[in-house]
Structure 1
Amino acid sequence: MEMQLPPHEGSELSVVDMHTGGEPLRIILSGYPEVKGDSVLSKRRYVREHLDHLRRVLMYEPRGHYDMYGALIVDSELPEADLAVLFMHNEGYSTMCGHAVIALGRFAVDYKLVKEPKSPETQVNIHCPCGLVKAFVEYSEGKTGGVRFLSVPAFAFATDVTVTVEGFGEVTVDISYGGAFYAFVNAQRFGLDVSKSRTRDLVDAATAVTRAVKCQVKLDHPASDDLAFLYGTILTDGKDDYSSEPTANICVFAEAQVDRSPTGSGVTARVALQYHKGLIQLNQTRTFQSGATGSQFTGKAVEVSRFLFSCGIRVITSCSKSGKRQKCIL
């Protein structure tokens, strides 16, 4: 007996699902309407104001889930960029995403968005809303491997800031930027362990911190007001002094969304913070571990750079594995 499916109605969106360190990335191949704007930041505003229904289709159930993450490839105004990208999640649109950059590096080479890949590494210039990020993809005998990326300048915004957190009283946090702003606090302040405590308890504590910082601390970015918002809170194991042993953290961002990876932009921000405090030196590689999955990224500060009115550092973050899951039509 043959069954005939009803005619398809609505938009047809073609995507490829990948992951980096367990954190998903849904890359939209086709089906999106024209995204208007003369810059990546203006395109980000356009999709937020005019095409947000498609974000909900891709991120929410039944096609997605609460912790889904997405990437929409768009045109860049920068001649040196191989591609530009808009990031999306359960709340809206981010300005930077390191795990996505790692996956997009492999995607760009595998899907031939970069001409003539080279061994041992192929450079992929990815224009993110926060700026140009350079990914370096291992390439040998037609296959891609590990990926590292040189991020935009990162900087410590404020240290030892005291905020009043509902249910916890006064809490001291650090705030740092790695393409997005994060608040950092030792999980032990809440009697929690980033690798052993219940995820729900970690999420509740981090979310309470995020709400407090958003209400009580005014952020600003030297390049654009569009970048001046708190993306989330990262709870750490407190092991900030340099060590060859991994240090663990868990990132809760957007609308209480949990990152399965160590968080690429979060690692960048944490390296900048540790460098600012004199806990690590230039070119000292640290290993950062996800409290959720145990996956690891490495990161190091490679140079001091001055931009506009701030002083920042350039950070390289890398991951040895980024896996493809499946191609699907929504």
Structure 2
Amino acid sequence: MRVTTCEMHTCGEPLRIVETGLPDIIGNTILDKVAFIRENCDDIRKFLMHEPRGHHDMFGTLRVEPDLPSADAAFVFMNNEGYTTMCGHAIIALGRYCVDNGIVEAEEPETLVNIQCPCGLIPTYVSSNKERSGRVRFHSVPSFVLQMDVSVRVPKIGVITVDISYGGAFYAFVSTDALGLTSKAADALTAVEVGQAVTNAIKKLIKIKHPENEDLGFLAGTIIVDRTGLDTKNLVRQMAVFADHELDRSPCGSGTAAHIALLHAKGLLGVNCEKTFQSIVNDSKFVGRVIRKATCGLFDAVIAEVGGNAYYTGRSLFTSEDEDPLMTGFTSRPRMTAHTIET
């Protein structure tokens, strides 16, 4: 293999953009292309996401031909486990990437880039203001609450209450209070184990269905929300655990869109009212709001706007040798040995 990439990050969450080294990707729709990649060239995902070239929390994207006439570019998202339908932190980085690489011609004061991803078309707005370098905002697909106040029994935790919401992918939302956690970085390792346990328990309990496309019907992960200060200041802290025990360094873009839909449904966020979403990384923040109301199937939905900053970190050339027994990579991560939560 010989693959070149552009490396970026959005609020601390990495994005590895594959530029060369891909085979021809076949499929009539972007979801067909995801299936083709999964079945025929998944080694590229493992090669770039896994160690020794990547790490357990790496995230990447492959550019494919769009099938929507209004799309400027189309991308498939990949992580340590497989492929996902939407990634907001990637969209923010890709908006800037598309402008900087001439995929879309730059305009003042910002450039609209229509990015197609597996969940649909994402209008993305890239600022040309030098004082706001790296600033990008996007408008979500119709985002909605699937279920509220779902009781689920999680092994070694007990019965907790979660909400399930969609922002291009489905997430479960659970309060730190229910788990005995905080949103500080010191609790990150515990959050990964607990978040994964919550996701696994919900998958066994509930069949997730999207009202318009069965390929979008899966639970992407769990977002642990720190409710502290929710009613007194315009800040929400959250930790997103997705894929296979993967912890988002950013506040999670698609998860933030889903959270905006949830807050609006609960009467906690009005139209055009901004809220800031912060991750465990200092200064890692997204600003979000409800743009307008919408529908998705029979569900009341909203179009959410999520904005953040993306930056370049380098470029890479990755190669392999035929004799290397670890050519396609491997995964490893720290495992919890203590601090198992009991309730």
**Same fold by TM (over 0.5)?**
yes
3-state DSSP class of the match of 1:13?
Answer: strand
Q: Is residue 59–residue 90 contact of structure 1 (8 Å, CA) maintained in 2?
A: yes
Q: What is the CA–CA distance in structure 2 between the aligned matches of 1:18 and 1:196, rounded to whole Å? A: 22
Could you give the per-residue CA deviations for residues 129-180 of structure 1, whole angstroms, max 9, x where no partner exists? 0000011001147x95310001101001100000110001111100000000
Question: Which residue of the partner structure matches residue 5 of structure 1?
Answer: none
3-state DSSP class of the match of 1:209?
Answer: helix
Q: Is residue 243–residue 286 contact of structure 1 (8 Å, CA) maintained in 2?
A: no
2:8 counterpart of 1:18 = yes
Corresponding residue pairs, total: 318
Q: What is the CA–CA distance in structure 1 between the aligned matches of 2:164 and 2:135, rounded to whole Å? A: 30
Once the two structures are superposed, the pairs formed by residues 90-239 of structure 1 within 5 Å of their partners are 90-115=80-105, 117-140=106-129, 145-239=134-228
Question: Which residue of the partner structure matches residue 314 of structure 2?
Answer: 326
TM-superposed deviation, 1:279: 1.0
Amino acid at match of 2:67: E
TM-superposed deviation, 1:105: 0.4
Q: Is residue 109–residue 144 contact of structure 1 (8 Å, CA) maintained in 2?
A: no
- TM-score normalized by the length of structure 1: 0.93
TM-superposed deviation, 1:28: 0.5
TM-superposed deviation, 1:308: 2.8
Question: Which residue of the partner structure matches residue 18 of structure 2?
Answer: 28
Q: Pick from 39, 47, 50: which aligns with 1:57?
A: 47
Amino acid at match of 2:30: V
Q: Is residue 229–residue 235 contact of structure 2 (8 Å, CA) maintained in 1?
A: no
Q: Is residue 106–residue 144 contact of structure 1 (8 Å, CA) maintained in 2?
A: no
Q: Which moved more, 1:188-197 or 1:129-138?
A: 188-197
Q: Pick from 68, 79, 88: which aligns with 2:58?
A: 68
Question: Which residue of the partner structure matches residue 330 of structure 2?
Answer: none
Q: What is the CA–CA distance in structure 2 between the aligned matches of 1:272 and 1:239, rounded to whole Å? A: 19
Q: What is the CA–CA distance in structure 2 between the aligned matches of 1:62 and 1:197, rounded to whole Å? A: 26
Could you give the per-residue CA deviations for residues 285-313 of structure 1, whole angstroms, max 9, x where no partner exists? 00000024441000001111123332210
Change (3 A) 1:73 1:243: farther
- Runs of 4 or more off by more than 6 Å in structure 1? none
Question: Which residue of the partner structure matches residue 6 of structure 1?
Answer: none
Once the two structures are superposed, the pairs formed by residues 306-317 of structure 1 within 5 Å of their partners are 306-317=295-306
3-state DSSP class of the match of 1:37?
Answer: coil
The one of the two structures with greater contact order (alpha-carbon pairs below 8 A, sep at least 6) is 2
Q: Is residue 261–residue 293 contact of structure 1 (8 Å, CA) maintained in 2?
A: no
TM-superposed deviation, 1:109: 0.4
Query: Aligned-residue CA RMSD in angstroms?
Result: 1.6
Q: What is the CA–CA distance in structure 1 between the aligned matches of 2:22 and 2:301, rounded to whole Å? A: 36
Q: Is residue 144–residue 296 contact of structure 2 (8 Å, CA) maintained in 1?
A: no
Amino acid at match of 2:260: V
TM-superposed deviation, 1:191: 1.1
Q: Is residue 21–residue 261 contact of structure 1 (8 Å, CA) maintained in 2?
A: yes
3-state DSSP class of the match of 1:281?
Answer: coil
Q: Pick from 278, 302, 321: which aligns with 2:267?
A: 278
TM-superposed deviation, 1:322: 1.0
Once the two structures are superposed, the pairs formed by residues 251-270 of structure 1 within 5 Å of their partners are 251-270=240-259
Q: Is residue 232–residue 253 contact of structure 1 (8 Å, CA) maintained in 2?
A: yes
Unmatched runs of 5 consecutive residues or more in structure 2: 319-343
Q: What is the CA–CA distance in structure 1 between the aligned matches of 2:228 and 2:146, rounded to whole Å? A: 20
Q: Which moved more, 1:201-210 or 1:238-247?
A: 238-247
Q: What is the CA–CA distance in structure 2 between the aligned matches of 1:248 and 1:86, rounded to whole Å? A: 28
- TM-score normalized by the length of structure 2: 0.90
